[in-house]
Amino acid sequence: MLNTSHKRTSLVPSSATDLVSALEDIWNSFTPREQFIVQKRFVDTSKCTLQELGDQLELTRERIRQLETKIVERCEKSIGHQIETLSKHLVDKYGAMIPKDSFTDTIDAVLEGVSSRNKVLFTKIFLKYLKYHFKNGFYLSPGGNIVISNYLHYINTNNLLLVDEMTLARINLEFWYKYRDEIKRCLGLVRLPYGSFARKDSVSTRVLDTLKHLGIPATKEQIAEYSGIPEEKLTNRLRLIRGVVKVSNNMWGLGSSKNSQYVGVVDEMLTVIEQHGGQVSVQTLKSEIKRRCNVKDSTITAYLYTAQFVIEDKMIRLSTENDVRLRPLAQTIDGRTGNGSPYWIIKVKARHLKGHSVVGLPPELAYYLKCEPNTRSRIPIHYPLGCRDMSITWRLASTTGLQIGYLADVMKELGVQEGDLVRLIVQDGARVGFERHSPIK
Element (H, E) at 370: none
Which tens digit of pLDDT belongs to each residue from 349-372? Answer: 988 888 888 988 999 999 899 887
Which tens digit of pLDDT belongs to each residue from 387-412? Answer: 989 988 888 888 778 889 889 889 99
Dist. CA 317–CA 277, nearest whole Å? 10
Higher pLDDT, 16 or 165: 165
Pick the range with the lowest mean pLDDT from 9-18, 82-91, 141-150, 309-318: 9-18
pLDDT, mean of residues 263-277: 73
Q: Decide if 343 contacts 365 (C-beta within 8 A).
A: no
Region of residue 236 (phi > 0: left; psi between -120 and 50: alpha; otherwise: beta) = alpha
How many CA atoms lie within 13 Å of 357's alpha carbon, on the beta-carbon side? 15
| Residue 256 pLDDT | 44
Q: Decide if 208 contacts 162 (C-beta within 8 A).
A: yes
Q: Decide if 295 contacts 265 (C-beta within 8 A).
A: yes
Dist. CA 434–CA 432, nearest whole Å? 7
Nearest residue to 391 via CA among 105, 95, 154, 97: 154
Q: How confident is the model at residue 159 (pLDDT cuts 50, 70, 90)?
A: low
Mean pLDDT of the chain: 84
| Residue 8 pLDDT | 40
Which burial class, exposed, middle or buried, applies to 236 when counting CB atoms under 10 A from its CB (0-12, 13-18, 19+)? exposed
Which tens digit of pLDDT belongs to each residue from 320-330? Answer: 777 888 888 88
| Residue 19 pLDDT | 77
Q: Does the pLDDT of residue 7 top 90, yes or no?
A: no
Give 15's contacts (C-beta < 8 A, 6+ positions apart).
Answer: 8
Report H helices in 2-135: 7-10, 19-29, 32-38, 50-57, 61-94, 100-110, 116-130
> b/e map of 315-350 (b: 16 or more CB within 10 Å)?
bbbbbeeeeeeeeeeeebbeeeeeeebbbbebebee
Q: Report CA Rg, the chain.
A: 28
User: Torsion over CA of 209, 215, 219 and 223, rounded to 10 degrees?
Assistant: -30
Give the 3-state secondary structure of residue 327: coil
Q: Decide if 91 contacts 99 (C-beta within 8 A).
A: no
Q: Decide if 114 contacts 61 (C-beta within 8 A).
A: no
* Residue percentage of the chain with pLDDT more than 90: 26
Which tens digit of pLDDT belongs to each residue from 253-267? Answer: 887 433 333 335 776
Which residue type is seen at 396?
A: L
In the chain, the domains with their CATH numbers are 4-140 (1.10.10.10), 144-254 (no CATH), 265-323 (1.10.10), 329-436 (2.40.330)
Which tens digit of pLDDT belongs to each residue from 374-384? Answer: 777 889 999 99
Question: Is the Cα dihedral 123, 128, 133, 138 positive or negative?
Answer: negative
Q: Does the pLDDT of residue 242 top 80, yes or no?
A: no
Q: Does the pLDDT of residue 314 top 60, yes or no?
A: yes
| Residue 12 pLDDT | 42
Which tens digit of pLDDT belongs to each residue from 37-51? Answer: 989 888 888 778 889
Q: Decide if 118 contacts 23 (C-beta within 8 A).
A: yes
Which tens digit of pLDDT belongs to each residue from 413-426? Answer: 999 999 999 999 99
